[in-house]
């Protein structure tokens, strides 16, 4: 190891820590240029390098169906986006996308729909196959002719044959169900699989096992018609659907989230129209809208999510707003359909108008994070779950301290490591170990008696050779009572 690298490690060993009040979510140092994106967004390892990628649809036609922002990691210089080119033809008004392995080759593909077309002959549904070399190739043979004006595609294995079928929530002429032949070719079997009437002015759809029978049912929101009820399709196990029982107000839905809100073992629904939100409780496979006294202002709600934000085993609610009062809001589930506003535990630099949310493990540390998408000011940002999380708070400068926030939970121990640069290897069940094993050093151990944020200043030696190198930190989180362990995320910053 070079003298510069040795000095970096010794400086880290001498660091101190100070306890602070802990947030449940903290804004990471991952940002995008302010733009307006439409359609669903996904976080998935679509490039196959172990790092999550952001995939989103383009709203305003620019010759591209979607963009992929590869290699999301806190502090890394963003890579150039991968553009998924639209087929030749008249420009399209807007796009929606779905991500999944449609042809069974182990690579994630993209399905896109288009609406607002200027020409009746314009395509409305396209499949773009991942060739494994960072390119997504349009396949004109993948879908049946006559697929029109898709509002949202949904990839789901409805007939339980091991491949992904395609449900299209559509506004012209109707919802459609296309069955995968096992090679990524979709055949329209709507008349024999969906019950009439199928013209529903649909805007959004999600898959869920509403009756706990092991197959995927489909819930459709009808945001294009003001007085149309949402629709529940119940799967018989072979991909043939009948109308399910759903009682809800005839209002447009633009976003659907599912989760077991009341703890009865069935998936409930948290849906929104622009301005109001709705909770539908699942009673053994039937959905009934329930009046809930929300503790926060629900005006201008644009997106919803369900997740266990505080680690207590029940499902909390999160929602975004597209107009004042701004800011993503978090509601703690107290049981008995009572919720408490704990939005102050979301740590952000500024409030923003947000039109989309993605809930999932974005940074690979085993807990659920949140992507705010479609932000007008920030272009989207990641709110990291602080159950176990490291954040570098400032750019490291040689001769100065790099401050690291280490969020941990009560009864846990963090073993902290540091390296110059990151490589990446999967270590099941611990997760991904990103620190370079040849340049890695364990530099401190911290014990958490309560959920807290520790501030750890790490002195960067005043050595010219360090300039331009990545300083990366990661920790192994161990629960003392059980011995269960999990690797945290791995933020990096370039030393200046």
H/E run at residue 128 = strand 125-130
Are 104 and 183 a contacting pair, CB within 8 Å? yes
The pLDDT assigned to 1 comes to: 38
The pLDDT assigned to 158 comes to: 98
**What length does the chain have?**
496
Question: What's the pTM value of the predicted model, to 2 decimals?
Answer: 0.87
Q: How far apart are CA 80 and CA 42, in angstroms?
A: 18
Q: How far apart are CA 291 and CA 352, in angstroms?
A: 28
Closest by CA to 314, choosing from 240, 271, 260, is 260
Q: How far apart are CA 387 and CA 315, in angstroms?
A: 15
Q: How far apart are CA 496 and CA 309, in angstroms?
A: 36
Phi, psi dihedral angles at 91 (to 5 degrees): -65, 150
Are 466 and 4 a contacting pair, CB within 8 Å? yes
Q: How far apart are CA 223 and CA 256, in angstroms?
A: 11
The pLDDT assigned to 77 comes to: 52
DSSP string for 308-352: -SSSSSS-EEEEEESSSSPS-EEEEEEETTEEEE-GGGEE-SS--
Q: Which two tokens stand for residue 8?
A: 């970096």
| Per-residue 3-state assignment (H helix, E strand, C coil) for 72-112 | CCCCCCCCCCEEEECCCCCCCCEEEEEEECCCCCCCCEEEE
The pLDDT assigned to 46 comes to: 83
* Beta-strand relationship, 268-273 and 276-283: antiparallel
Q: How far apart are CA 364 and CA 432, in angstroms?
A: 7
Q: Is 399 left (phi over 0), alpha (psi -120 to 50) or beta?
A: left
Q: At a CB cut-off of 8 Å and minimum separation 6, what does 428 contact?
A: none
Closest by CA to 282, choosing from 220, 228, 208, 214, is 208
pLDDT tens, the chain, 496 aa long: 333 344 454 444 444 444 444 789 998 866 565 554 544 678 888 877 777 888 877 655 556 777 777 766 665 555 667 778 777 655 565 567 899 999 999 999 998 877 654 444 445 678 889 998 878 888 888 876 555 556 688 999 999 999 999 998 876 667 889 999 999 999 989 999 999 876 567 778 999 999 999 999 999 987 665 557 788 999 999 999 999 999 987 777 878 999 999 999 999 999 887 667 889 999 999 999 998 887 766 777 888 999 999 888 999 999 988 777 778 899 999 998 889 999 999 998 888 778 788 898 888 898 999 988 765 555 678 899 999 999 999 989 999 999 999 999 999 999 999 999 888 888 999 998 999 988 888 889 999 999 899 999 998 989 999 999 999 999 999 999 999 999 999 999 999 9
The pLDDT assigned to 474 comes to: 95
């Amino acid at each position: 190891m070079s003298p510069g690298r040795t000095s970096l490690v010794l400086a880290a060993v001498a660091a101190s820590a100070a306890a602070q009040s802990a947030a449940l979510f903290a804004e990471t140092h991952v940002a995008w240029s302010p733009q307006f994106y439409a359609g669903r967004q996904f976080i998935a390892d679509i490039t196959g390098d172990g790092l999550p990628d952001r995939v989103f649809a383009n709203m305003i036609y620019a010759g591209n169906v979607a963009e992929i922002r590869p290699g999301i990691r806190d502090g890394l210089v963003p890579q150039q986006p991968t553009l998924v080119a639209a087929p030749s033809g008249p420009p399209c008004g807007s796009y929606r996308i779905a991500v999944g392995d449609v042809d069974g080759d182990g690579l994630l593909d993209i399905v896109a729909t288009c609406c607002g077309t200027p020409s009746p002959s314009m395509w409305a549904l396209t499949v773009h196959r991942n060739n494994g070399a960072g390119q997504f190739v349009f396949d004109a043979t993948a879908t049946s002719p006559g697929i029109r004006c898709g509002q949202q595609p949904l990839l789901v294995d409805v007939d339980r044959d091991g491949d992904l079928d395609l449900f299209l929530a559509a506004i012209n002429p109707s919802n459609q169900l296309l069955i995968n032949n096992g090679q990524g070719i979709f055949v329209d079997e709507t008349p024999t699989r969906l019950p009439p009437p199928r013209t529903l002015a649909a805007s959004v759809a999600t898959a869920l096992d509403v009756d706990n029978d092991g197959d995927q049912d489909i819930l459709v929101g009808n945001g294009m018609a003001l007085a149309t009820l949402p629709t529940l399709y119940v799967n018989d196990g072979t991909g043939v659907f009948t109308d399910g029982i759903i009682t809800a107000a005839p209002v447009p839905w633009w976003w659907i989230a599912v989760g077991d809100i009341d703890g009865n073992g069935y998936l409930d629904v948290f849906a929104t129209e622009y301005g109001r939100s709705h909770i539908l409780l699942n009673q053994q496979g039937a959905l009934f809208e329930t009046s809930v006294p929300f503790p926060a202002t629900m005006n201008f709600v644009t997106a919803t999510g369900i997740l266990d934000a505080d680690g207590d085993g029940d499902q909390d609610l999160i929602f975004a707003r597209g107009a004042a009062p701004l800011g993503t809001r978090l509601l703690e589930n107290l049981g008995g359909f009572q919720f408490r506003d704990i939005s102050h535990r979301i740590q952000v630099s500024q409030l923003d108008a947000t039109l989309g949310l993605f809930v999932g493990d974005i940074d690979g540390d085993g807990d659920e994070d949140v992507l705010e998408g479609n932000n007008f000011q920030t272009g989207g940002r990641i709110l990291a779950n602080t159950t176990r999380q490291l954040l570098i708070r400032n750019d490291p400068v040689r001769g100065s301290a790099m401050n690291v926030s280490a969020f941990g939970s009560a009864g846990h121990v963090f073993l902290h490591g540091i390296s110059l640069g990151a490589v990446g290897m999967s270590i099941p069940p611990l997760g991904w170990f990103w620190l370079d094993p040849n340049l890695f050093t364990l530099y401190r151990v911290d014990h958490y008696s309560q959920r807290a944020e520790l501030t750890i200043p790490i002195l960067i030696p005043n050595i010219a050779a360090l300039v331009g190198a990545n300083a990366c930190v990661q920790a192994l989180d161990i629960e003392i009572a059980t011995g269960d362990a999990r690797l945290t995320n791995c933020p990096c910053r370039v030393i200046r």
